[in-house]
Amino acid sequence: MKTLRALFRDRRFAIGAIVMLVLLVLALLSFRSPYDPTVWRLVPLDQPPSREHLLGTSSLGQDVFWVLTFAIRNSLVLALFSASISRIIALFVGLVAGYSGGIADRILMFITDGFIVLPLLLILVLLAMILQEHLNLVTMALLFGVMGWALDARFLRSQILSLREREFTYTAILSGNPTLKLIFNEYLLFVVPLTMATLIGNMMWVTGMEVTLAYLGLTDVTIPTLGTMLHFALNYQAVLLGIWWWIFTPIAAAVALFVALYLLSISISEYLDPRARIQRVGAR
């Protein structure tokens, strides 16, 4: 509770949390939707916002508001699962490389550096073209998770290298504590907050990649996401036809999601930064 109160004193965290709460409420509303988001021509086409259709209807004959609720839900689920998979990989690589050192560290960092320098967008486009028929939420989560861990693994390795040189590590080793016990009882307390902070940043990356691939038509466009909403709006010339509510809705939702995640990320990162914590204490 003290941590939450301290975070909410930061206006950026408060704004990000409020926006994220609104998005989560919209995502939960999808379970109460009167329409199937995969079925077309359920409502009149191209109707502007009204009491009956809060965000209007699309050229597909869908209620934009209810499709948005499904899109937000699927995009959040995809981002969270992808980021969780990549955190597990990054945590494993960072712990093993940082603590073991030697040849294991060199091999793992060679692989990590290879992933860092790769043009991930081009590789994801190529893989999406190959796996397009199988790109559902699960396979996309695996794909993004496997490709998005490298940079954060380096951050975690640096943290472990620092922890390995502290006195409590030598004390634990001289006391005969097993390596796994040392890692789980001591090191995880330090690296889990950093891992959670990088989780939010990775969710932003996953959301951006999904929107990009969906815009190019390289994902399963029958699954409603923010990217597929934008894909259909652009393909059906919503801008030229003046159906502004159709194309504005996914763009506004995507921007809101990016802003919320960004504000939460920088706020949590600064809160976890020891130098910023010292400055806060000094200011008091």
31 falls in which pLDDT band (50, 70, 90)?
very high
Helix axes 244-272, 274-283, angle to 10 degrees: 80
Q: Please write the tens of the pLDDT for every residue from 8-28.
A: 778 888 999 999 999 999 999
The number of folded domains in the chain is: 1
Residue 34 pLDDT greater than 80, yes or no: yes
What average pLDDT does this structure show over 66-78? 96
Q: Provide the CATH number for the domain around residue 160.
A: 1.10.3720.10
DSSP 162-224: HHHTSHHHHHHHHTT--HHHHIIIIIHHHHHHHHHHHHHHHHHHHHHHHHHHHHTT-S-TTS-
Distance CA 48, CA 58 (A): 9
Domain of residue 12: give its range: 2-283
pLDDT category at 280 given cuts 50, 70, 90 is very low
- pLDDT reported for residue 182: 65
Least confident span in 100-114, 153-167, 252-266: 153-167
Q: Is the pLDDT of residue 1 over 90?
A: no
Q: Taking the chain, what is the end-to-end CA distance rounded to the nearest angstrom?
A: 20
57-70 confidence digits (pLDDT tens): 999 999 999 999 99
- pLDDT, tens only, 178-199: 665 666 666 777 787 778 778 8
pTM of the model: 0.86
